[in-house]
Structure 1
């Protein structure tokens, strides 16, 4: 029952609610207006320096142009600043030198790894045997295996990484997605080509990890339609171009097959299996390949229709190849994902192996579970690359900024849009291999180089072999190479030398 007093209170309460709602509405409008107001456009910063070094036995003189590029939208307004480091050899008269557009992956990684690991004239020197480095000082050295003697190079940091960022009314999320990223990175390649008049030079895209996905998507953006910018090819380092081969989801048995040879290589390296029959890695891996493609794949496909004899035979082979116990294999229904393997293969030693490079070992506080605390092959090398890229920019390239150079930005990955038109990861699996195949069909000179690490549990080599064997890829124009290291195989000195020589031979064969 309402009295006059209760009615008055009721009315005031509603008035207060309406006023509060109005204030919130005004604040929301103000916030919306503030968010859509274009931010001030910072001035372009560019540094140009001259250098000389010896590469592949030759004295090479070169310029470095390190700095910003404002990419414009359809109205001619800056939408993104792309930071790049470009190397141009100056003591040569060859005006047909290839130009390499180079980037890493993540999504959310700067180009530091390929820049300071293999391609650039300076490199971070790390132990080759999977030993973790500690605190500074670290070693930065001349790189006599750089490709600068035969190719000019442009290292690109996508928006949200390095010093690259959205400008004006745009935000990072406008560029954080498979399609969005391919568009802005292709816009940069076109803008850089115009600025430096590189139209008639052979051009390659070189990417590592997700950078190989990016390269595939960029092939479609650059080569499709009229006014295309035709490429001489792509170089895929530790590639993932079809996510069906690498994503462990219920109902997708393919990754269990494609990861098995890397599991076996890891067990072989750490002597978790009997190596007396296979003292050499390559013939051992070939036997695992054949088992994975035939007996193992067949039993996985059959599921509960497989007979006990078939299952037991597969379990015994899996135990022989991986060192995992027959009980564990039985309990896992013959299906082991990468994180289970990383924790289980050396559990009897209280050690877990690395994901990016399974040669690396680490200890987790949780000794009984399968949780992924941190990747020992990540924290083993991250500090050295972070310190030395910053020092190198300041000491050698005259780049001295107060803002942070983002090595790897987790915000980018967390906000990533995996949809690419109808080929949507959320509705299936992202796959850019058909774009590469189309690029090969439409361009007779288009070639593919693929570099694989045997100990890479992030992008396993057998998964890449599967991708390159499907979707219409012309395998006659694919060069596949393998190295006894992991995801960043160039931190392993023998693999660095071999990878550099293999890429050099690939470029010289154009």
Structure 2
């Protein structure tokens, strides 16, 4: 995932008094104080609110706070993973945190993970569905799903254009999911208001399996703290969050005894080998070009770059999918054995489906990466398209580059989401802290991509493929339902990639009926399109209601 998320770094300020040291000499004013340690106590601040959904007011309690989790192998004998609620404070302002509930373990890494939860008023916790939501990255907070899709307040952004600067508008979110489920928006370890502490803390939490384990421990702690063990339970992840969901669902069900009712996937990637971002780094691996072609075609359709513009997008994309998985795939598989006449034929067909010049397609050897397509489609205008939402466009930093050097989506939404959330969490939810909210952090230099699939004795050294995890979770729990949502205009996780992966899960064919698919005329963040956001809400809410097994019919009327 690109760096569409800004890094918000907070610095702790410590007062260093001029006093006598233990030796009796005055402290050297040039000595630098030791780095402040984060306060690793959990905390929680509650407030009440009302959101109107479909004309019906829904009252709720909001809880914003943190829970402390530990890496695999931590011994919790005689202590809890969470401390009694404490006021949110700046790192360094707390005293030594070696109490039973907190942290300060010199040898044990720990993560304080931040969250915002919403509980509908007047409903028994055991009968009310609860959905745990998170974005991806890896290294992203969950501000995007929270403030753009399903929280009770939504930040207003321009549709497929740059949102004007502050002041930004926060409005009642008519598409909040609180009509169907209680909600818990979880920030990944080290993001949001969360912090890491202890020896090898990055190694302990930043990795495919380490990350999923941290989320599993957060969810178990949350279910216990808020008495939600008997609630119908759903997971919803976006982007890398879908890879997390595959691993996490299997961990929760097999290791923690947490039965899931459903898993909701938004803009899926289960196998990095299918990513068209770095395809040319792996010669001979051609499937990513096949799976990206329908999204290229959708983008060219949106920007009116096709030689013959079809009227109906879904029908057109079905035609492209058929070509991609037959003639195009066969041609790529032949490699240098492909004869010139057939090569010309495929290049011309790709021109018809992408709008790119035939000579460019041939120079690219019929293989075009995502950032190359984003750079070339609108280059005659001096523009590039967005990567995560190719409806967006912006000036090329260098028209002579081979690929796009930034994502215009960043300029379109980042400031609005960052300012909107900070204003909301501090002034409406009353989370009084001097901590900066880390919207996104750079974890890539430390991220451990090794993944141990179910049934294997050791981690695989290659980039992760989690199809086996999702399939194992569905085989272990044959009642588990899965919903895949994707936008047509997504070059980061192309919509057909997700369909392909779900159709290749290693599991009995009868379980395929547990999966449903939805596509939208939007991008990676489907909810940035007003019409698509309404459709997404309705599809997800209906999925939850169909699978919550809720005995209290009265709650369905709200």
Whether the TM-score (by the shorter chain) exceeds 0.5 is yes
Cα distance between partner residues in 1 of 2:505 and 2:182:
32
The equivalent of 1:434 in structure 2 is: 468
Render the CA deviation track for 1:3-31: whole Å, top value 9, x for unaligned.
Answer: xxxxxxxxxxxxxxxxxxxxxxxxxxxxx
SS at match of 2:305: coil
The answer to whether the 8 A contact 2:131-2:182 is kept is: yes
Q: If you compute each CA radius of gyration, which structure gives the higher value, 1 or 2?
A: 1
Q: Distance in 2 between matches of 1:429 and 1:80?
A: 25
Determine which of 234, 256, 276 is the counterpart of 2:289: 256
> For each residue in 1:281-325, what CA deviation from the matched residue of structure 2 results, as whole angstroms up to 9, or x when unmatched?
111111100000000000001112222222121111001011111
Distance apart, 1:372 and its partner CA? 3.2
Name the residue aligned to 2:153: 122
- Residues 46-445 of structure 1 mapped to structure 2, 5 A cutoff: 46-72=44-70, 73-75=74-76, 76=79, 78=103, 79-93=110-124, 95-128=126-159, 130-169=160-199, 171-225=201-255, 227-246=256-275, 247-248=278-279, 249-276=282-309, 278-410=310-442, 412-421=443-452, 427-445=461-479
- Residue by residue over 1:152-209, the C-alpha shift from the partner in whole angstroms, topping out at 9 and shown as x without a partner, is 0111011110011123446233101001101111000001111112111111110000
1:428 deviates by 3.4
* Distance in 2 of aligned mates of 1:425 and 1:126: 42
Gaps of 5+ in 1: 1-33
Give a deviation string over 1:349-400, Cα, whole Å, max 9, x none: 1111000100111112311112432110122100000000000001110012
Deviations 1:432-466 (A, max 9, x none): 12111111111122011111000000000011111
Report if aligned partners of 1:80, 1:170 keep a CA contact under 8 Å in 2. no
Aligned residues: 471
* C-alpha distance in 2 between matches for 1:57 and 1:301: 55
**2:516 aligned with 1:487:** no
Q: How much does 1:472 deviate? A: 2.4
Distance in 2 separating the partners of 1:39 and 1:159:
16
**Higher-helix-fraction structure:** 1
Q: Partner of 1:239: helix, strand, or coil?
A: coil
- Name the structure 1 match of 2:514: 477
Q: How does 1:13-24 map to 2 (within 5 A)?
A: none
Q: Is the 8 A contact 1:80 1:164 kept in 2?
A: yes
SS of 2:518 mapped into structure 1:
strand
TM-score for the superposition, normalised by structure 2: 0.81
Q: Secondary structure at the match of 1:509?
A: helix
Q: Which runs of 5+ in 2 are unaligned?
A: 1-33, 80-101, 104-109, 548-558
Contact 1:288–1:321 (CA under 8 A) maintained in structure 2: yes
Q: What is the root-mean-square deviation in Å for CA atoms of aligned residues?
A: 2.0
- Superposed CA deviations along residues 462-495 of structure 1, whole A, max 9, x for unmatched, are 1111101102253211111011110111011000
Does the CA contact (< 8 Å) of 1:176 and 1:417 recur in 2? yes
Contact 1:125 1:491 in 2 (8 A): no
- Residue 425 to residue 137, structure 1, CA distance change in 2 (3 Å): farther
SS at match of 2:178: coil
Give runs of ≥4 in structure 1 deviating > 6 Å: 422-426
